[in-house]
Structure 1
Amino acid sequence: MAHRAVKLFFLLCALSYALVTIAGKSYYDVLQVPKGASDDQIKRAYRKLALKYHPDKNQGNEEANKKFAEISNAYETLSDGEKRKIYDAYGEEGLRQHMANGGGGGGMNMQNIFEQFFGGGGQSEEEEERIQKGDDVIVDLDATLEDLYMGGSMQVRLGILIYASNQQCEMLMSSIIVKVWREKNVIKPAPGKRRCNCRNEVYHRQIGPGMFQQMTEQVCDQCQNIKFEREGYSLTVDIEKGMQDGQEVVFYEDGEPKIDGEPGDLKFRIHTSPHDVFTRKGNDLHTTVTITLVQALVGFEKKIKLLDEHLVDIGSQGITKPKEVKKIKGEGMPLYASNKKGDLYVTFEVLFPNSLTQEQKTKIKEVLG
């Protein structure tokens, strides 16, 4: 009877696994590796994704935090030989039952996994240094203040920016879509074998009774020969509202390839183009408005268009002094990864007349004297 119950339990686990596989992503999908991936492939995939989605790099981004938790959970299972076997056979439900019955301990905190992998734990910086990386590719992207304020659409091909008209812009709530054509070297298999993964190994040679000499020898594996081919493909760059000068959008491992190592990264670095009306300082916008002497003395009604063309009242009912600055709260640039905005600062220049008639002088004296 007990034997039948065990068989029934594992059958239910297998069915649950099948349903999970159909309904959602497997741990292999989460780490973007094939089911037969080696331990080294799993480590490299976790390293890349954990750096990309770590909460410290994505503050306020709930989607990234969820992704980081998924990645850490998947890595905790697939990096453990026993857990991985159970997961492969019976899926998440089987793994949960195994853990509930006292197998494998109580699990790990996702931050602890990260710290152990990148320093302060089992994976040291020496292992990080042993992985050679190709060169990073840095592409400068010029964005207008309008782009960074309200979103727009632009295409990039071979380093040339082509802006769409306002009617053609693809407006989004929080980002600009940038379509990029990228060409790079891609490693392809070639006929023959090559020396690879070369390393120094130490061995001892006996040179006499009770006498040994320590020797170092370079040992290499035989790997498939390779060649570089140039390939082009499209990328979509998501530039979010409020990004600052120098802020980067990173595509991990899309840089230059490295033989027997990891590719570098492709980085799009944002630069804000000068604007005719507004100047950006951090999250604030600054502009200068010229008014007449009469307006400065008796007050005025005036509105200005902001970057999304909505109107802001900057009028005054009192006296406005030359170089006076008016602060309008919440009308500046959007804050990155936030619903808040900076402030708008308007500096007033007063336009004085070039000359006055004697009659005008007399009237001014009567009023102000």
Structure 2
Amino acid sequence: MKEDYYEILGIDKSASAAEIKKAYRKKAIQHHPDKNPGDTKAEEMFKKAAEAYEVLSDPNKKQRYDQYGHAAFDGAGGFGGGSGHMNMDDIFSQFGDIFGGAFGGGGGFSGFGGFGGGGRARVKGSNLRIRVKLTLEEIANGVEKKVKVRRKIQADDVTYKTCPTCNGTGQMMRVTNTILGRMQTATTCNSCGGAGEVIDKRSSEADGQGLVVKEETVSIKIPAGVVEGMQLKVTGKGNEAPGSNGISGDLLVAIEEQEHNTLKREGDNLHFDLYVSIAEAVLGTSKEIDTVTGKVRIKLEEGIQSGKILRLKGKGIPSINGYGQGDLLVHINVWTPKTLNKEQRDFFERMVGDDNFSPNPEKNDKSFFEKVKDMFS
């Protein structure tokens, strides 16, 4: 079972944004690779802290995590969804500024891919966003969707050269005079955007960044129990970044729930309106109803009352948190005919005043408000 993000950072759920950032910086510096060379446990803790901060520092992700736990990001396929397979370059490209001057010139580290004192940044490509429509059956069972995405990738014949403005460092040094003396600060190079390189040659089909648009089929694993508006992330399936050392953006997938013909969803529970005739209600019957796993037949006892709710345990939607499965609530509605022939009318006229047809609720027959209360409890 994955560790709780709050426990990883050593904070509680009421922690403010500033406290979350402070806790992450403390953990990151403690387990930084430069401070713990060759220590795989420290590196793993460094990644876990970054993963926890990536979620808790984002108000939307934090809200989903507080509500659904790690299951909110199952199937998201990468960093930002709690995958646990963090990439060091991703961490430093996104959170390097949090370390300040603790390590090198740009918050990087010397042991991995040139992030040391030079501060050269890895440019990340832009994210893509799509909506995926799911049926209630797909939501209940989980599904793998294949979607076509038009994303920017590097052209095959594009080549790069060292940025002449910053000489490949990705930064420009600026000296300013202050009342405290001369201060030297580093800023991102405007010519290369911090990548340290610019385009040398490109084809006519490529844009100014050396990218071309290509359609690609992407497979998305969607866990059971997702809800309308939930967003999953497929790492690395957004637009590629310019340069030979960039990293791809992500594909953000928003969930859209399609309306079911007969079932209505309420959280993890489902509702089904079952209409029966007066004769069926009086004599009892069996009826076939829809569920998300197929049709099932239920038996209705003699004298069943309109408004009665039958609960089918475990026939609802699985919890996104993995805490069991919701129920299917079958609402009984006795249908009163609007027109009668002479024989039918004569029969009911004879029944007026008959004790068997006079309302006589028992003590255990719940009122409408009690049924609604039970339904939501």
Given the two structures, how large is their TM-score scaled by the length of structure 2?
0.52
Judge conservation of contact 2:269–2:328 (CA < 8 Å) in 1. yes
Judge conservation of contact 2:281–2:302 (CA < 8 Å) in 1. no
> CA offsets, 1:56-89, max 9 Å, x none?
663499999xxx89858x97xxx9xxxxxxxxxx
Counterpart CA distance in 2 for 1:54 and 1:227 is 32
Judge conservation of contact 2:292–2:315 (CA < 8 Å) in 1. no
1:262-281 to structure 2, matched below 5 A, reads: 262-281=247-266
2:227 corresponds to 1:231: no
Amino acid at match of 2:151: K
Q: How many corresponding residue pairs?
A: 252
Judge conservation of contact 2:283–2:302 (CA < 8 Å) in 1. yes
Q: Report the Cα offset of residue 336 of structure 1.
A: 2.5
Q: Report the Cα offset of residue 343 of structure 1.
A: 0.9
In structure 1, runs of 5+ residues without a counterpart are: 1-41, 80-115, 151-174, 206-210
Amino acid at match of 2:357: L
Amino acid at match of 1:199: Q
Q: Determine the structure 1 residue equivalent to 2:291.
A: 306
2:332 corresponds to 1:360: no
2:109 corresponds to 1:135: no
Q: Determine the structure 1 residue equivalent to 2:373.
A: none
Alignment equivalent of 1:148, drawn from 139, 148, 155 = 139
Task: State the SS of the aligned residue for 2:227.
Answer: coil
User: Compared with structure 1, are the counterparts of its residues 132 and 315 closer, same or farther at alpha carbon in structure 2 (3 Å cutoff)?
Assistant: farther
Q: Determine the structure 1 residue equivalent to 2:143.
A: 176
Question: How much identity, in percent, do the aligned residues show?
Answer: 17
Amino acid at match of 1:135: S
1:47-62 to structure 2, matched below 5 A, reads: 50=51, 58-59=70-71
Alignment equivalent of 2:268, drawn from 283, 300, 305 = 283
Judge conservation of contact 2:48–2:84 (CA < 8 Å) in 1. no
Counterpart CA distance in 2 for 1:264 and 1:248 is 15
Alignment equivalent of 1:199, drawn from 171, 174, 181 = 171
Q: Report the Cα offset of residue 223 of structure 1.
A: 1.9
Given the two structures, how large is their TM-score scaled by the length of structure 1?
0.53
Which has the larger share of strand?
Answer: 1
In structure 2, runs of 5+ residues without a counterpart are: 1-42, 57-64, 109-120, 200-208, 359-377
Judge conservation of contact 2:73–2:232 (CA < 8 Å) in 1. no
Q: Determine the structure 2 residue equivalent to 1:318.
A: 303
Which has the larger share of helix?
Answer: 1
Judge conservation of contact 1:253–1:262 (CA < 8 Å) in 2. yes
Q: Determine the structure 1 residue equivalent to 2:153.
A: 186
Aligned-residue Cα RMSD (Å) equals: 4.8
Task: State the SS of the aligned residue for 1:275.
Answer: coil
User: Compared with structure 1, are the counterparts of its residues 227 and 352 closer, same or farther at alpha carbon in structure 2 (3 Å cutoff)?
Assistant: same
User: Compared with structure 1, are the counterparts of its residues 138 and 231 closer, same or farther at alpha carbon in structure 2 (3 Å cutoff)?
Assistant: same
Counterpart CA distance in 2 for 1:306 and 1:254 is 35
Q: Report the Cα offset of residue 339 of structure 1.
A: 7.2
